[in-house]
A and B are shown apart, each in its own frame.
Chain A
Amino acid sequence: MAFVPSDRSAGHAPTPVKIVIAGGFGAGKTTFVAAISEIIPLSTEAAMTSVSVGVDDNSKRQAGKTTTTVALDFGRITLGSDLILYLFGTPGQDRFFFMWDELVRGAIGGVVLVDTRRLDECFPAVDYFESRDLPFIVAVNCFDGVVEHKIDDVREALDVPGDVPIVLCDARTRQSVKLALLEMTQHAITRAAAAHSLAAR
């Protein structure tokens, strides 16, 4: 079936938008989503089959199939009668990177949640967003509202350029999460505006 659904309802149906929430294990992705989602975070299961070729004999491929399934957690925020925002959490481990392309496609931006005690766990996410040229911010998850290191230190450790916002965030509180999302959206606007003015020259 070669049918690709078209948007026949452009007049009255809402538009979906998506922000990707990334970060290492235990960095607080699900907490972040749950704090602001109007629905209890749901989970969709995505599967991919990869075919591995036996290393012995190229002329006689012995295909082994491996099946990987991964659960993607997500939440939803209705921003108006014409706009629904989805927050998709990335799978916890690097080896599920096959899903990231799909998560990032069409997203307006990303948030990388950082647990400063395990800073290196967010490196893959930062690398990935940069490689895809997706606007993103870094949100340093503060537990109990305490942060002991300056944002500059985190910036240096993460090696992100000065124009990438780094904010403090308590992933458990709705207000803090809202501010982080606002920061991310504003950053996306700044970048888009700059790109437009460049193009206009």
Chain B
Amino acid sequence: MNDRVLADLAGDGDAPPRGDRGSNLRAALPLDIPRSASHDELWDRDMAGKAKDAEEPQAATPDEQPLPDVVSEALATYAAPSEEPAPLAPAAPPAPAAPLAPLAPEAPAPAARATSGVRPQELGEDGPGRLVRPYAMTGGRTRSAGAEIPLEALVIVTDEGRRAEGLAWEQRAIAELCASPLSVAEVSAHLKVPLGVARVLVGDMAAEGLVEMSGASGSEQAPNDLNLLERVLNGLRAL
């Protein structure tokens, strides 16, 4: 899994400033605060375990920044030939030998439907197949041109989405999940697909009018929106 390209470019990877904070840290903050049993260390260790690093070169940290042109080349290699979702042709490198075949022998493959042929229960399984299938859903795309849909953007199914027939299973799953508003992050978590894949799926459905979104344009001004902040304050007080 580690040598496959998960091209979900989540940002430009700038390292934050490393100040000299702590230069006045007193060594003698002698705290013997009794520590009650908490899961935090276990949880954090688990989270760290989920962060799988492929071999990292020993070069200096600036090398971790993505180099746009090489990455674009890589993406071009793996992207589907057209921008239309090509669910039957996974473009990721370890492509199955028969790209048009369903990934499970017993999966139904109705020819008329635009389906990826991936059965729901196959998603989330560990093993070599797992990475291929989510990207098969998006035809190898992990990113729409234009702004990234924020993590917290809400997705709600439309009447059209509720009524639509012949949806690919993942779209059906999203339509059902989003009967009440759900964030893109929650869609990703429930479907057990990477965030980038969830964004593309949701973006596609929004383009087709199957879902609508709230907060998709990602207000950068939220910390300055007094009205919004007051609403949050009142809402928290009422908890």
| A residues adjacent to B (C-beta < 8 A) | 1-10, 13-18, 25-31, 36, 42-55, 61, 63-74, 76-77, 79-80, 82-86, 88, 91-93, 96-103, 105-109, 116-117, 119-120, 123-124, 126-128, 131-132, 134-135, 142-144, 146-149, 153, 156-159, 172, 178, 181-182, 185-186, 188-189, 191-193, 195-196
Contact = CB atoms under 8 A, between A and B. Distances in A.
Contacts of B146: 2-4
Overall SS of chain A's interface: mixed
B44 A185 contact: no
Contacts, number: 371
Nearest to A45: B194
B214 A17 contact: no
Contacts of A85: 232, 235-236
B124 to A, nearest CB: 11
A119 B213 CA distance: 40
Contacts of A124: 16, 18
A143 B38 CA distance: 9
A177 B229 CA distance: 18
B154 A51 contact: no
Contacts of A126: 21
Given A143-B36, A146-B34, A7 B207 contact: no
Given A68-B52, A102-B148, A105-B220, A192 B229 contact: yes
B156 A13 contact: yes
A130 to B, nearest CB: 8
B208 to A, nearest CB: 9
Contacts of A64: 55, 57
Nearest to B184: A44
A100 B237 CA distance: 28
The contact size tier of chain B is 35 or more
Interface stretch (B1-9, B95-103, B109-117, B161-169): B1-9
Given A15-B215, A45-B194, A189-B233, 16 more contacts: A1-B207, A2-B144, A7-B212, A7-B217, A28-B38, A48-B6, A51-B70, A61-B70, A64-B55, A68-B51, A97-B16, A98-B13, A117-B31, A134-B223, A148-B33, A182-B236
Interface in B2-59: 2-19, 21-26, 29-36, 38-41, 43-44, 47-48, 50-57, 59
Contact of A159 (B24, B48, B207): B24
A149 B237 CA distance: 29
Interface of B: 2-19, 21-26, 29-36, 38-41, 43-44, 47-48, 50-57, 59, 63-67, 70-71, 74, 83, 141, 144-154, 156, 181, 183, 185-186, 188-190, 194-196, 198, 202-204, 206-207, 212-220, 222-226, 228-233, 235-239
A98 B10 contact: yes
Contacts of B66: 48-51
A16 B12 contact: no
A80 B235 contact: yes
A30 B216 contact: no
Overall SS of chain B's interface: loop
A68 B196 CA distance: 13
Nearest to A133: B223
A67 B33 contact: no
Nearest to A100: B16
Contacts of B156: 9, 13
A17 B223 CA distance: 10
Contacts of A193: 226
A120 B54 CA distance: 28
B47 A127 contact: no
Contacts of A49: 5-9, 66, 71, 74
B16 A128 contact: yes
Contact of A46 (B8, B22, B31, B141): B8
A148 B32 contact: yes
Nearest to A55: B59
Contact of A13 (B63, B149, B154): B154
